[in-house]
């Protein structure tokens, strides 16, 4: 009994080194993306845009997964193996978001080439901005959003149980996350790709969606969807009026 209790206590303790590593990765993503954004006022090559968007996605998309990954990192009898599984899952997850970031960088570059982006990397066209906001709002209100959140929770539990390989789970998790949250990232093109306030608010919203109960997450998602629709409608009416 005395030998079992210390092990049980150890498994309940957070994997602080792992959490600190995630915090460092997040901070690096934010710092590097904002550093590149400073040069964005003078124009960025496509390669630099890919790096900028990818590091920004790392900074924004790691925080929503901290609780899930830290729980996985301290599950099982072997802590080193558990943390390895957590890193594998994170690697697969970020690989998908990196691919999405590259696509977003190409869209950003193309809009700039068409003269539709300001020096602050925000969309000049009110109708296009309104369309992005309305699309994001509709996704937030759709049953698909709720299904994606449920799949994220179920997949994380499956990895902890050992029924799904962590890298494969990370890739699947990334696909589900990108398909449900990717449109939200386009809203950064409305306020400015490197608008710090917008990045913070969006990251906080995504964290709350992931860590709260399904009922609360549903209310948050629908509230966000309605807000985006109202914002998009306001921009559209302004465009018509002008």
* DSSP state string for 149-183: HHHHHHHHHHHHHTSS-HHHHHHHHHHHHHHHHHH
Confidence of residue 72 (pLDDT cuts 50, 70, 90): confident
Question: CA of 26: how far to CAs of 30, 59, 101, in Å?
Answer: 6, 4, 16
Residue 227 in tokens? 């807000």
> What are the tokens at 73?
């990192």
The predicted model gives 58-67 an average pLDDT of 93
> How far is 6 from 106, CA to CA, in rounded Å?
52
Tell me if residue 123 falls in helix, strand or coil. strand
Mean pLDDT of 151-166: 70
Average pLDDT of 39-68? Answer: 86
Question: How far apart (Å, rounded) are the C-alpha atoms in residues 66 and 171?
Answer: 17
Chain segment 4-36, per-residue pLDDT in tens: 333 334 444 557 889 999 999 999 999 988 887
What mean pLDDT comes out for the span 166-173? Answer: 90
Once rounded to an integer, what is the mean pLDDT over residues 166-181? Answer: 91
* DSSP label at residue 63: G
């Amino acid at each position: 009994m005395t030998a079992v209790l210390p092990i049980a206590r150890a498994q309940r303790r957070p994997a602080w080194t792992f959490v600190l590593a995630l915090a460092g990765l997040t901070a690096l993503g934010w710092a590097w993306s904002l550093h590149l954004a400073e040069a964005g006022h003078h124009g960025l090559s496509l390669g630099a845009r890919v790096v900028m968007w990818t590091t920004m996605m790392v900074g924004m998309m790691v925080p929503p997964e901290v609780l899930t990954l830290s729980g996985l990192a301290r599950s099982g009898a072997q802590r080193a193996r558990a943390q390895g599984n957590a890193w594998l899952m994170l690697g697969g997850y970020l690989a998908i978001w990196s691919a999405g970031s590259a696509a977003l960088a190409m869209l950003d570059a193309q809009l700039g080439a068409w003269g539709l982006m300001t020096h602050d990397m925000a969309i000049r066209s009110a109708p296009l901005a309104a369309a992005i906001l309305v699309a994001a709002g509709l996704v937030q209100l759709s049953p698909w959003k709720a299904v994606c959140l449920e799949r994220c929770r179920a997949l994380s539990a499956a990895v902890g149980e050992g029924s799904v390989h962590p890298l494969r789970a990370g890739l699947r998790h990334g696909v589900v996350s990108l398909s449900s949250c990717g449109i939200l990232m386009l809203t950064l093109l409305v306020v400015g790709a490197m608008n710090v306030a917008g990045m913070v608010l969006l990251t906080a919203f995504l964290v709350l969606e992931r860590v709260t109960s399904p009922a609360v997450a549903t209310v948050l998602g629908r509230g966000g969807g309605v807000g985006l629709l109202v914002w998009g409608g306001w921009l559209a009416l302004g465009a018509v009026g002008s």
